[in-house]
Amino acid sequence: MFDQLGLSSEILRAVSDEGYVNPTPIQAQVIPSILAGRDVMASAQTGTGKTAGFTLPLLYRLQAHASTSMSPARHPVRALIMAPTRELAMQIDESVKKYGKYLALRSAVVFGGISIEPQIAVLQTGVEILVATPGRLLDLVEQKAVNFSKTEVLVLDEADRMLDMGFLPDIRRVMALLPQQRQSLMFSATFSSEIRKLADSLLKQPIRIEAAARNTVNESISHIVHRVNPGNKFALLLHLIRQQNLKQALVFVKTKHGSSQLAQMLTRNEISAAAIHGDKNQQQRTQALAEFKNGEIQILVATDVAARGIDIEKLSHVVNYELPGNPEDYVHRIGRTGRAGSKGKAISLVSEHEKELLANIEKLLNTKLEVEPVTGFEAEQSLRNLPDRKNRMASGNSRHDSKPAENTENEKGRKLPASHRYADSRRGGISKHSDPIFTQPYVPQSNPASPAAARQAETQSLFLAYRQEKKTVPALFTALTKNKIKQEN
Ligand code: AMP
């Protein structure tokens, strides 16, 4: 029970408002260690409740500093939480606000892609808990908008992701700015030797907690593999959506344009779908996510980078339309379902040329994934029903085939290691295996006329998306919107 962990009544009340009865295994292990002031290195995959695992004891620790004073000097940054993506940063900030709602502690979230000035303004008013993506945090440091002299706790969430995205130099720069005397907590779904090295330099005599065995996946998720010809994948996806009446499924593809095209194809087949990837601006990503969460969109098609940290309550299905090149991404992908004990299903559509990728995943998980035939699937018939099939089938090599490495997504624009690139490129392309839906040219969304206009549009829509979800609007966006209204007047 939560009340045996030594948390305060204010925090327990907030936890009970969320309907949580018992701590999850990672929470039961991590909370006492953090309360004891220890550094922690935790292997916790997403969906295990790790956010509350570090947020609850963090709030408890900072409770002594709670203050209703308006003076910014009374609200220095006492805890810094770093996350790899904007979506994850926003979700952590929401959790901090949720669990800390009965405490006079302030939190804010900062990330790139929107104007920096309102973030500076919020920081000037003072916040105890700052959630940040590394790049924007360093921009704020350069502008002297943030000071870490009173920072007591550092949390690195999804540390493996941060390294994958090339954030290591940024993390080291931030660490150099923090007081030596501090508590550091590191969470990572997977543990590579780089992660261990980072942990060695960051943590002092950490308690190592492994909530789930390393690189294993949640037991409440069932894995199913459907073997399919590449040309029949789309028809099979449609069949599964209809036959199994999938109300809400997150579908993964490998490339940005692949995700846009798949979403378009689904929409043409009267299935509400949206794409979420790195070419979409923050406004589009936030809106798609909000609509997916509230059920307006049935299928969200995502790339690996864009989907990091997405937390959707009770997501029943994850579909791997294409298997990831990096087997650890499989663990991340399917971790979006089967959260906090609820049942989840991970369906992979696997073609002959993906056999090796499947074998790598099975090796990592140390288990064979079950292959199931699809009852009643008549690919030819389904394909016949697709619109403009002729055009799609008639076109030549897809962009998907011809430029695999370029399409590999990295939000920092850095080249990913070879192991993360499109696996088939090593075999000289996959044109003969290509999925016809990817043979249409990809037309990226046009950008708004000026950067200022784009930022304003983003901000406004972020604000609206928050409103739509009926969530507390973070101070940051409230300030942004107020500024905009002022400007317009
Ligand atoms: P996380 O792994 O932090 O992304 O959390 C996954 C989901 O589990 C979130 O939707 C949380 O709201 C939920 N959750 C966290 N702790 C608990 C708990 N003790 N009992 C039930 N649900 C929880």
Cβ(438) – ligand 1 distance below 6 Å: no
Report CA(216)–ligand 1 centroid distance (Å).
18
User: Which strands form 183-188's sheet, in the order they lie side by side?
Assistant: 107-110, 129-132, 79-82, 153-156, 183-188, 40-43, 207-210
Cβ(52) – ligand 1 distance below 6 Å: yes
How many angstroms separate the Cα of 390 from the Cα of each of 166, 260, 377, 436? 42, 20, 21, 10
Nearest CA residue ID for atom 16, ligand 1: 49
- Nearest ligand 1 atom to alpha carbon 91: 4
**Residue 348 DSSP class:** E
Give me the pLDDT at residue 431, please: 33
CA 10 vs. chain centroid, Å, equals 29
CA 25 vs. chain centroid, Å, equals 22
Cβ(335) – ligand 1 distance below 6 Å: no
Report CA(398)–ligand 1 centroid distance (Å).
41
Give me the pLDDT at residue 438, please: 42
- CA-closest candidate to residue 89, choices 144, 133, 146, 29: 133
Cβ(111) – ligand 1 distance below 6 Å: no
Give me the pLDDT at residue 262, please: 94
Task: Give CATH for domain 2-210.
Answer: 3.40.50.300
Domain with CATH 3.40.50.300 in the chain: 2-210, 221-377
Cβ(455) – ligand 1 distance below 6 Å: no
Given the candidates 1.10.10.10, 3.20.20.10, 3.30.420.40, 3.40.50.300, the CATH classification of the domain at 221-377 is 3.40.50.300
Give me the pLDDT at residue 311, please: 66
Nearest CA residue ID for atom 20, ligand 1: 20
Cβ(340) – ligand 1 distance below 6 Å: yes
Cβ(47) – ligand 1 distance below 6 Å: yes
Which residues of the chain fall below pLDDT 50?
Answer: 213-216, 379-489
- CA-closest candidate to residue 357, choices 306, 427, 447: 427
- Nearest ligand 1 atom to alpha carbon 50: 3
- Nearest ligand 1 atom to alpha carbon 95: 12
Residue type, 300: L
